Structure 1
């Protein structure tokens, strides 16, 4: 075995630590072993390339050796001490270590090629530690420097973002996978859906017919829930949030990690209503006490007892509400990351999209586009479904058939483009109530009563776009007193499905 001469660090010490005995975390021997293994057997590069990059090496000379070797291997050319010597002849750092002889010693000293992945993991982890140190020093330096243009809250958001990005690094890139692997994954998803008895691959909304149409709420999807005022957008969103949080059960997931096996942790950005108002809506539904009675305190003893018991039953529900108004999309992302890190996060809700702020102020269409792209990015980054509520334009009111369409979305281009699913809430009863004829017109009154009887207590969720499934209409029940959507009982079922 050829012994490799230990070398000095090629990086300066961190600022403010001159003369200190400690240097940044590193392992020169691991770097030498990994480089030697690659120069001896180029196939090893394919096993570690998704984990280690040139900048992860502490010694600058090793960084340059890795760059040259990886460039040649990616061109299907041999990378050996002999072939890469010509590209590093003018490298002063390598000459200081012995030039071509050092390259030969690297290859000759590599005795543990089978452990290359372990060396790569160690090099990566030490690089992350150095980045954490540098990030901490940068945060400290920026905080100490008083700059009018740099607000402390902006620095916090930026620091959180950089920390999260650092935490997400090192996950092996997927690249190409065999069809066998893809088929196996598809079968596992189908098996999970089969075992849930409802054909669900995603998280259940608690609404049977909606689940059948959507297949549940899928990770990394952006779902837009739109409607005119008073249609019940917020009510439907709170119903789904409550159903998901109420069903939450933690355990061992299919991939062997611990997480939600049923239901999930829900984050709810309520930009329109306060957290207390939103909680009152959820309690109204759970206790079956009309929300206006809760607001006025107009409850009898039995209703108040049900209200208190519902509050006690729901206090452990993993539903987290943020009611900060006019949030920028960057803050939404930062707060969602923080919630996932501290309590977990399986579903995110935003009520509603037009109340968020983007960085662009001149053009509203561009600002909404930035917001929808930001929400889709959150869904992919955190691997969760994001449900964002949206207002519809007034042109709906000018049509005879007031069922919403994709073209009714405000600033529809970006919303329609970025969303995986677009759903509209529509209640015919709301419009028919306002068309009540005069008492003297008996024929018109009879027709109106017939129509009202047909549409009373019913709502439609119109799926106008679904990237992974069919479009169509789902009928739900709606109890206005409790602001509650439910499963519509069918005549052939002989009773209600329960909610």
Structure 2
């Protein structure tokens, strides 16, 4: 009780005239206090037999994936390790390269595997984020629609309505935006996790997450990075977050290196996996995902090459599908811009 009172007193002294800042500070510091008091304890040597039995139970059956499927063969097929509880995964790239689209693609893959998603969208309003979700979801089910059409209004086809009805039965994807233009803070994220209970927390924009105090941006990024990692571990969920590469990574055809992550080294140190994005040559419908860090495996510096036409719901590995325009299960059908009958199994993962 004495420690709680000291936290409250310090917060009131620092933020007494600013109710919102006071609340953010209390949430952050009291949550940290709670985590300190609730550390997981295990007798490591004494639990060896139980742990070995758990290893055997955990082994993926029939070449399956442990954790949440990623949609990338490097993780799902080669290592058979999807996004795992306790992991912080970073997506790094320069502006306008497609970080948000890839974040939504990973989230959709997780959702299609039956997981619950919480998307924090401090940069985009909910309407735009959900239009992107619709474009990707429809494309994954064989119905092509450009997200731009959705932004300006569009009369859905019967196939789209069928898919929308199937999706509505789930109620497992929650999107939150910054209604009043105030950024999310690291202090309120624990409450959101407890409230919505996601398997995967997706955050679009590290620089738009505020810290508990007003320091330099590298100090805030350090606090947020390690705070998110602690939340992933404490809540046994996976967290994926996008962030900017520094100006040193200005060449979009070269993937950002670890030292080119914006705002200091803390983000790279806190993450379990770092995916760096670059463009493959001058092709606007290509993307290379380089695995710069993989704590449970080895990096893949050669990269994973994607066909990348996200606004029309089409993202896949080059090796897995015909990447020519107008073909493939999510491509155009006989010149019909909105081709596909939408009768594919909702839960199938390409």
TM-score, normalised via structure 2 length: 0.75
**Unaligned ranges ≥5, structure 1:** 1-130, 140-146, 249-263, 433-451
Q: Does 1:369 align with 2:222?
A: yes
For 2:349 and 2:236, the matched residues in 1 are separated by: 31
Residue 465 (structure 1) aligns with: 293
Residue 181 (structure 1) aligns with: 50
Residue 107 (structure 1) aligns with: none
Residue 334 (structure 1) aligns with: 191
For 1:164 and 1:403, the matched residues in 2 are separated by: 35
Q: 1:163 to 1:226 in 2, by over 3 A?
A: closer
Q: Does 1:478 align with 2:314?
A: no
Q: 1:158 to 1:366 in 2, by over 3 A?
A: closer
Deviation at 1:398, TM superposition (A): 5.0
Residue 309 (structure 1) aligns with: 162
Contact 1:358 1:370 in 2 (8 A): yes
- RMSD value, Cα: 3.5
Deviations 1:107-139 (A, max 9, x none): xxxxxxxxxxxxxxxxxxxxxxxx9xxx9xxx9
**Unaligned ranges ≥5, structure 2:** 9-14, 139-143, 323-327, 330-347
Deviations 1:425-477 (A, max 9, x none): 22225xx2xxxxxxxxxxxxxxxxxxx5xxx7432211001111111122222
Q: Does 1:283 align with 2:140?
A: no
Residue 320 (structure 1) aligns with: 174
Contact 1:487 1:498 in 2 (8 A): no
Q: Does 1:205 align with 2:70?
A: yes
Residue 413 (structure 1) aligns with: 265
For 2:185 and 2:321, the matched residues in 1 are separated by: 48
Deviations 1:152-186 (A, max 9, x none): 78459847985897699678721333433333232
Deviation at 1:416, TM superposition (A): 1.1
Q: Does 1:241 align with 2:85?
A: no
Q: Secondary structure at the match of 1:428?
A: coil
Higher-RCO chain (CA-CA 8 Å, sequence separation at least 6): 2
Deviation at 1:366, TM superposition (A): 1.3
Contact 2:27 2:188 in 1 (8 A): no
Contact 2:111 2:117 in 1 (8 A): yes
Residue 337 (structure 2) aligns with: none
Deviation at 1:377, TM superposition (A): 1.2
Q: Does 1:293 align with 2:149?
A: yes
Contact 1:283 1:307 in 2 (8 A): no
Deviations 1:328-357 (A, max 9, x none): 211122222222xxxx22111111101111
Residue 234 (structure 2) aligns with: 381
Q: Does 1:151 align with 2:19?
A: yes
Q: Secondary structure at the match of 2:250?
A: helix
Aligned residue pairs, count: 307
Q: 1:355 to 1:152 in 2, by over 3 A?
A: closer
Higher share of residues assigned helix: 1
Larger Rg: 1
Residue 488 (structure 1) aligns with: 318
For 2:248 and 2:28, the matched residues in 1 are separated by: 42
Deviation at 1:490, TM superposition (A): 4.2
Q: 1:220 to 1:365 in 2, by over 3 A?
A: same
Contact 2:122 2:205 in 1 (8 A): yes
Q: 1:224 aligns with which of 90, 101, 107?
A: 90
For 2:295 and 2:273, the matched residues in 1 are separated by: 6
Contact 1:458 1:475 in 2 (8 A): yes
For 2:77 and 2:18, the matched residues in 1 are separated by: 49
Q: 1:412 to 1:150 in 2, by over 3 A?
A: closer
TM-score, normalised via structure 1 length: 0.54
